[in-house]
């Protein structure tokens, strides 16, 4: 039982993060759709509603439906399942991998819900200074960015010595 403690804790945390992502998207649809650009922190942080059929920076937006479904739904589901099996079977006691699993799973699942239910992801936030801007993103995308930062700074793939 102790071996799978992090997994038991991680599942509801990931589910709560997906829920938070979906709530922010519901808010964005009701409050931002059709309203153009809304400055939050001057020009640095803005709301700008968009539906994105593709992935990062609309990559894959114009793919034929079958290819799009395979690349934007089937492959991400398979990747999340594969990562879950890897963590559960190979490293059930590695807290850093469970933190990474939470972030990747919540981010991936949050956007998968949108793709499966409506065929596009709701995006609504943008950062930048003048002409240098990020793409439009959502809370699930932030989870993925946090996962990348986590890997860069805390390398969950390094083996920790057993006591």
Asked whether the beta carbons of 123 and 136 are under 8 A apart, the reply is: yes
Listed in sequence order, the DSSP H helices in 54-94 are 65-69, 75-90
CB-count burial class (<10 Å; 0-12, 13-18, 19+) for 143 = buried
How far is the C-alpha of 141 from the C-alpha of 58, rounded, in Å?
Answer: 13
Which phi and psi angles does 48 have, rounded to 5°? -150, 105
21 has catalytic annotation:
no
Q: Which helix (H) or strand (E) holds 52?
A: strand 45-52
43 has catalytic annotation:
no
Asked whether the beta carbons of 80 and 108 are under 8 A apart, the reply is: yes
* Catalytic, out of 21, 43, 65, 141: 141
């991998």: which residue's tokens?
A: 97
**Which amino acids are annotated catalytic?**
123, 141
């Amino acid at each position: 039982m102790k071996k799978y403690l992090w997994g038991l804790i991680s599942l509801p945390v990931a589910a709560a993060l997906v829920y938070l992502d979906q709530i922010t998207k519901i808010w964005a649809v009701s409050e931002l759709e059709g309203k153009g650009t809304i400055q939050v922190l001057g020009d640095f942080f803005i709301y700008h509603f968009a539906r994105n059929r593709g992935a990062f920076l609309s990559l894959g937006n114009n793919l034929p439906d079958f290819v799009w479904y395979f690349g934007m739904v089937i492959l991400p589901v398979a990747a999340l399942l594969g990562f879950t099996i890897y963590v559960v079977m190979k490293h059930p006691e590695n807290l850093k991998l469970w933190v990474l699993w939470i972030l990747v799973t919540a981010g991936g699942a949050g956007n998968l819900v949108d793709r499966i239910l409506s065929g596009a992801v709701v995006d609504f936030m943008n950062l930048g200074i003048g002409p240098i801007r990020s793409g439009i993103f959502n809370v699930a995308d932030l989870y993925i960015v946090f996962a990348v930062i986590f890997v860069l700074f805390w390398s969950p793939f390094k083996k920790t010595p057993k006591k």
